Amino acid sequence: MNIVFFGSADFSVPSLKALLNGGHTVSCIVTQPDRKKGRGMHVGGTVFKEAGRSLGIPLYQPENVNSPDSLAVLQKLAPDMFVVIAYGQLLSGELLRIPRLFSVNVHASYLPRYRGAAPINWALVRGETETGVTVIKMTEKMDAGPIILQERVQIIDSDTCITLERRLADTGAALLLEAIKRIGARSFELSLQDDKSVSFAPKIKKENGLIVWSKTGRDIYNLVRGTLHRPGAYTRYQGGLLKIHAVRVSDDIAADRRPGEIIDVSKDGIRVAAGKGSVSILELQPEGKRVMKAEEFISGHKIKPGDRLE
């Protein structure tokens, strides 16, 4: 098949490689325009752009993928199918009608749960024990198209958004190949999503990473692993911002301690009272500095029991 692939994130890369290894033709990669990013605000492309460039695939980076110019460019490619995975722009109905067959999307949740931009993050933040990957026939409504294939994936307690994304990306690549095989053989069925079971996973914003110490230790643990690096869970200590990269949760009741109060400081971590139970901070990052173990942070700061994180 002649496929035009829309993607921008790490999650898209295994599916791209799977298509090429499966003998399909990817005639063009559509990805987001280069943006300023990082501390130095240097202009750079998406991870997916770099993957496509390394594989020698032509690139197209429209500011507005639904513009008349974009429609004209994509029509000339005469694609059999659009594959859309973590692209970052909604596709109009006019654009979705270009392929000879139709457009498919690989979404990192067991739809109709967690429609939206950040399904992996929110599944972890909300303490889910199961998620999945779904291949849908695309419609104009976000993540609402009929289901072609889907597969459940267990979330293990040690998962972070990084490890879970890798597993789901590999599952999605295999599922995409099977879906395309069935579409080509006209042996697929479409199943409508249950609108009564819909939930949403909007883009994670910086403010979503703020640790509220009055929540349970388990809630705080889930926030840390669900927002790791992007945007990161954070708190404040003595007026400065601390990003928290790894914690261990305890259900022990911290008697007579206010949420956010430091209970104990040792080489094993910085134990902090939560609304219920406690967490031990294992890795953290002071503002403007690198990630470090708790033991290293303790040696350079006068942090002590009774101090409070805000």
CATH superfamily, with its number, for domain 206-300 = Formyl transferase, C-terminal domain (3.10.25.10)
| pLDDT over 70 at 294, yes or no | yes
Residue with tokens 């063009």: 28
| Residue 294 · residue 287 · CB < 8 Å | no
Higher pLDDT among residues 49 and 150, named by residue: 150
| Residue 132 · residue 149 · CB < 8 Å | no
In this predicted structure, what is the pLDDT of residue 40?
56
For the chain, what are the domain ranges? 2-197, 206-300
Give the tokens for residue 251: 């259900």
For residue 219, what are the CA distances in angstroms to 3, 101, 215, 305? 42, 44, 6, 22
| pLDDT over 70 at 39, yes or no | no
Q: Give the three-class secondary structure for 243.
A: strand
Give the tokens for residue 38: 């990082």
Mean pLDDT, range 259-270, rounded to an integer: 93
Higher pLDDT among residues 48 and 208, named by residue: 208
Query: 3 forms bridges with which residues in the sheet?
Result: 26, 81
Alpha-carbon span 152 to 144, nearest angstrom: 18
Task: Please indicate, yes or no, whether the overall pTM of this predicted structure exceeds 0.75.
Answer: yes
230 band by pLDDT with thresholds 50, 70 and 90: confident
Q: What is the rounded average pLDDT for all residues in the chain? A: 94
Taken in order 145, 151, 157, 163, is the CA torsion positive or negative? negative
Alpha-carbon span 41 to 50, nearest angstrom: 18
Give the tokens for residue 4: 């035009």
Residue with tokens 């199961």: 130
The 10s digit of each residue's pLDDT in 120-169 is 999 999 999 999 999 999 999 999 999 999 999 999 999 999 999 999 99
105 band by pLDDT with thresholds 50, 70 and 90: very high
Mean pLDDT, range 262-287, rounded to an integer: 94
In this predicted structure, what is the pLDDT of residue 57?
95
| pLDDT over 90 at 227, yes or no | yes
| pLDDT over 80 at 243, yes or no | yes
| pLDDT over 60 at 41, yes or no | no
Residue with tokens 């139970």: 277
256 band by pLDDT with thresholds 50, 70 and 90: confident
Quick check: bond before 146 cis, omega within 30? no
Alpha-carbon span 298 to 288, nearest angstrom: 17
| pLDDT over 80 at 44, yes or no | no
In this predicted structure, what is the pLDDT of residue 43?
62
| pLDDT over 80 at 9, yes or no | yes
Indicate the fold that domain 2-197 takes in CATH: Rossmann fold (3.40.50)
Contacts of 45 (CB under 8 A, 6+ apart): 31, 34, 61
Instruction: Work out the angle at residue 204's Cα, subtended by the Cα atoms of residues 198 and 207, and round it to the nearest 5 degrees.
Output: 125
CA-based nearest residue to 269, from 233, 303, 232, 308: 303
